[in-house]
């Protein structure tokens, strides 16, 4: 019966290494489709404006947290992630270096919240046109997407945001 025992042990070792290999492969090959953006848009601004903001809901369907470390776009010289804070009744925007999108979770880039700033626009952005944007993640790498330029949805206080962003523009 010794051969049977040996066979069983060999099978077990093979099985364990197979499972380990599969798990490792899954960790390394984080699929780009794990990360998905919804409700993406870029705020339409007058042609003279040098700055605008982009918004989206960002889902992470994978089993591990991922960190958004950079955002790129050919339409502006600089792209930054900003947080909005209220101190002494005044809304302030501060640059943030990265944002963690939790496993099986989502984050928002939204008016009056965290948002993406397109600073020093190279050309006026036409309403309805598509803007290429690349999100760079620690694990999932580079993810390309197209964001439509549009006016804020009905009921959104756009004047407030426009004021914020023109105020903000002077800091750059
Ligand atoms: Cu901002």
| Residue 30 alpha carbon to ligand 1 centre in Å | 30
Q: Which residues have CB atoms below 5 A from the ion given as ligand 1?
A: 82, 93, 117
Q: Give the pLDDT confidence score for residue 159 in this predicted structure.
A: 45
| Residue 93 alpha carbon to ligand 1 centre in Å | 5
| Residue 61 alpha carbon to ligand 1 centre in Å | 27
Whole-structure pTM value: 0.74
Which two three-digit tokens encode residue 169? 């523009």
- Digit-by-digit pLDDT tens for the chain (172 residues) are 565 666 665 555 555 555 555 554 445 556 768 999 999 999 999 999 999 999 999 999 999 999 999 999 999 999 999 999 988 999 899 999 999 999 999 999 999 999 999 999 999 999 999 999 999 999 999 999 999 999 997 765 544 444 444 444 433 3
Q: Give the pLDDT confidence score for residue 75 in this predicted structure.
A: 98
Return the CATH fold of 32-169: Immunoglobulin-like (2.60.40)
């Amino acid at each position: 019966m010794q051969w049977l025992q040996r066979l069983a042990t060999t099978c077990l070792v093979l099985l364990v290494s197979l499972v380990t290999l599969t798990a490792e492969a899954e960790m390394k090959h984080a699929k780009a489709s794990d990360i998905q953006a919804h409700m993406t848009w870029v705020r339409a601004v007058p042609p003279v404006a040098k700055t605008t903001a982009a918004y989206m809901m960002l889902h992470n369907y994978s089993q591990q947290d991922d960190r958004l470390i950079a955002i790129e776009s050919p339409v502006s010289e600089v792209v930054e992630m900003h947080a909005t804070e209220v101190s002494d009744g005044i809304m302030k925007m501060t640059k943030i270096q990265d944002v963690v999108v939790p496993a099986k979770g989502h984050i928002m880039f939204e008016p009056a919240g965290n948002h993406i700033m397109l600073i020093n626009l190279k050309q006026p952005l036409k309403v309805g046109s598509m803007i290429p944007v690349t999100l760079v993640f620690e694990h999932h790498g580079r993810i390309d997407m197209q964001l439509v330029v549009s006016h804020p949805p009905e009921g959104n206080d756009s004047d407030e945001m426009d004021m914020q962003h023109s105020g903000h523009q002077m800091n750059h």
